[in-house]
Every structure is written in structure tokens, then in C-alpha cells.
Amino acid sequence: MQISSSPPNKVSFHHNVTLTVSLTVGSPPQQVTMVLDTGSELSWLHCKKTPTTPLTFNPSLSSSYRAIPCSSPTCRTRTRDLAVPVSCDSKSLCHVTLSYADSSSVEGTLASDTFNIDNSDLPGTVFGCMDTGFSSNIEEDSKTTGLIGMNRGSLSFVSQMGFSKFSYCISGRDSSGILLLGEAHFPWLKPLNYTPLVQISTPLPYFDRVAYTVQLQGISVSGKVLPLPKATFEPDHTGAGQTMVDSGTQFTFLLGPAYTALKNEFLNQTRGVLRKLEDPNFVFQGAMDLCYRIEQNRRVLPPLPSVNLIFRGVEMSVTGEKLLYKVGGASRGSDSIYCFTFGNSDLLGVEAYIIGHHHQQNMWMEFDLANSRVGLAEFRCELANQRLRP
């Protein structure tokens, strides 16, 4: 189903650890909250209430719900981009299993139902109706009903709806954001800078062909480019080492050599400005091992060097508060602990560079599927929220 490109469908979202959007699913409509994830394909909802999944979609209350049999072409051919092959369950229904970089997973039945987004009905939307799973962050995951997959795979939400373009803007000030499905032509939006998507024709074991992959070419700290060979940022013969723009990941992760070089240069440029947490056992979220002690009564962070991610045709500048993240519930004496918001992919067990949503705050991010490119420009996203209110 194609939705007219003007005006775009508009959805507000909230962000903390994840970006979440609210919409309705089913007939009559049931309210659901879904994580917005440009790094994954199939959308899914928890369909079985448990102590750790209190928010669910109840398929038995929806007259438009349809479970998809494994004999269906949707099950047999449209699931080809999923990392784990589908199977047939005891009821001859299409069984899907999804796993994520943080080691969480969900499984259940492939199904379809009517999704309603910004007052547009989208009948026959294919999604996973999940009844079991493992969460690596139960507290966060219990706040949402599921996930909306926004990558370029054939079963992603944008692909199913036929959108050729979507964009979002995440406010750095409050916990709000805006998602636009379709064209975004506004007089107040300045021209974006674009970087082309990297596409490969040959399947490689570690290359995600339906991700939003861009070419990272270098990293600079306050204008000083890290002395890394070009090959550091290019995928190898197995496909490992691609750079993905991922709204489903909070922070940015770099492969070992690039991370080490950035960490050392940031340490070098903040010597005498920040006090390093001298605790080798303290690693935030398992992959972020550069942390600092900052006085709890300090209102603002000291001046910090900017970190620029240099892509083909565009740079993303990470400055000020976006560089350090206060670790809740952790302190040393009268000091809070803040960690550098770049982590080491090698410690996550991920063979890729991942640009997370924390560094996309106050940037207009456009995903242009028709022209195979990603556009961005710095923007105060709370202004977009105000200007787009009806």
C-alpha cells in the first residue's frame, strides 16, 4: 500500500535508552508502544503477558488479525533477509526467531493485522506476534510492547508501506522527537548534506545488506584527524567492518583499533580537564571503558574537545554533553561517574561500527530509500516539534 507523499505521516516519539513511538494495532484498535529501530527488519509485538512483558497486544481481541501459515509465500520468500531462518510450528504456522546485538531475542508467529499510524489505516501489515523471549534489559523492555523495524529488508515497516523516504529528529533538551514518513519539505528546514549508502551485490557472512550502511572515512578530535589507515574503516572480505546508522542502539560503537585511537586522543586532550576513573573493573554496558569522576555539585561539564565522524560527503559533530553520559546509581565519594559515549564493538562481540541515536540528537536525519542515501543537518529538534504541531 502506498501512502501519498504529501503531507507526510507524522508521529511523535519519546527517547531515553530507546526511541519509542505510540500507535494502534488491530480491530478494534489496541494502543501499543514500539521501539523505533532502523537497524532491524521485522516489526513485532509481545502477544503473551508475563511478569517481564506486562504490555502486550492481544490477537484474540482483533477481528483483522491473521496468523500466517508456513505454506504462505510471505513465509517462504519474504523472510529471506532474516538472520535466523523461519520454521514451521506444530500448528503449521510460520515461526520466527529474532536475535539482537545485546543478546536479547524473541520468537513467535508471523502474522498480519491493521496498523494505524497518524490516522492512516495500514491493513495487512506483517509483523511477529511473539510469545517467548530473553531480555538483556528487563526494566527498559517492560516499558514497551514491541519494536518497529525500519531497515531496507522486504518485511520492514517502511518497505511494506512503500515509503521512499522517512526522517526523524531527536531533541537533546527534552525526551521528545518527531518521525515523518514521506517527504519533508519545510521552509524552515535547511538543505541536508548527504552520504551514499554502501551496497554490495555479493552476500558476505558478516555484512548486513539491508542495513543503512554508510562509509566512515575518518575521525577527528578538535580538528586533529586520528592517524588510522583507510582500511580500518572499510569492510573486509567477510563483510565485517561496515558502518551502520542504527536508531535501535543508544551509543556509538567503533571497532577496536579505531576505538583505541579515539580513546587515547580524547584522554590526551582532556588531561587536566577531566579526572579519569581509575578502576579497570568498571566497564559501562560491557563495552564503554573510558569513564571519569565529576563532582556531583557541578552544574555544567567543563569544555570538551569535539569529536567529528567523517563520512563520505558529510561530517557528524559530537560535542558537549553528547560526549559524556552520567551513569545512574554509580558514584565515588562526592563524585558522579560519567562515561565516554563511544564504546568498543569488540567488547560487544559485534563486527561493525554502529552510529547510535545518542549522537543523532539535534540532527535532522533523513533516510532516502529511493536515492540510496542518508541526509543529515544539525537542527534544534524541539523547534521541529513545535512547528509540526497541528
Residue among 141, 246, 289, 368 flagged as catalytic: 246
Q: Is 61 exposed, middle or buried, given 0-12, 13-18 or 19+ CB atoms closer than 10 A?
A: exposed
Residue among 37, 113, 289, 368 flagged as catalytic: 37
Least confident range from 5-19, 156-170, 212-226, 288-302: namely: 5-19
Q: Is 293 left (phi over 0), alpha (psi -120 to 50) or beta?
A: beta
Kindly state the DSSP code that residue 145 receives in the 8-state scheme: S
* pLDDT beyond 50 at 139: yes
Least confident range from 174-188, 243-257, 260-274, 327-341: namely: 174-188
* pLDDT beyond 70 at 390: no
pLDDT of residue 73: 96
pLDDT of residue 53: 87
pLDDT tens column, 198-226: 998 888 999 999 999 999 999 999 999 99
Distance CA 206, CA 224 (A): 31
* pLDDT beyond 80 at 12: no
Q: Are 366 and 197 in contact (CB under 8 A)?
A: no
Average pLDDT rounded to a whole number, residues 246-273 = 95
Express as a percent the part of the chain with pLDDT over 70: 95
pLDDT of residue 348: 86
390 in helix, strand or coil?
A: coil
pLDDT of residue 14: 63
pLDDT of residue 280: 87
Nearest CA among 247, 369, 241, 356 for reference residue 309? 356
What would the DSSP string read from start to end of 297-365?
A: T--SPPP---EEEEETTEEEEE-GGGGEEEEEEEEETTEEEEEESEEEHHHHT--EEEE-GGGGBTEEE
Q: What is the mean pLDDT of the chain?
A: 90
Nearest CA among 376, 19, 32 for reference residue 170? 19
Distance CA 52, CA 268 (A): 43
Is 174 labeled as catalytic in the residue annotation?
Answer: no
pLDDT of residue 255: 97
List, in sequence order, every residue forming a beta bridge with 309; answer none if it has no partner. Answer: 219, 316
Nearest CA among 114, 108, 76 for reference residue 91? 108
Is 121 labeled as catalytic in the residue annotation?
Answer: no
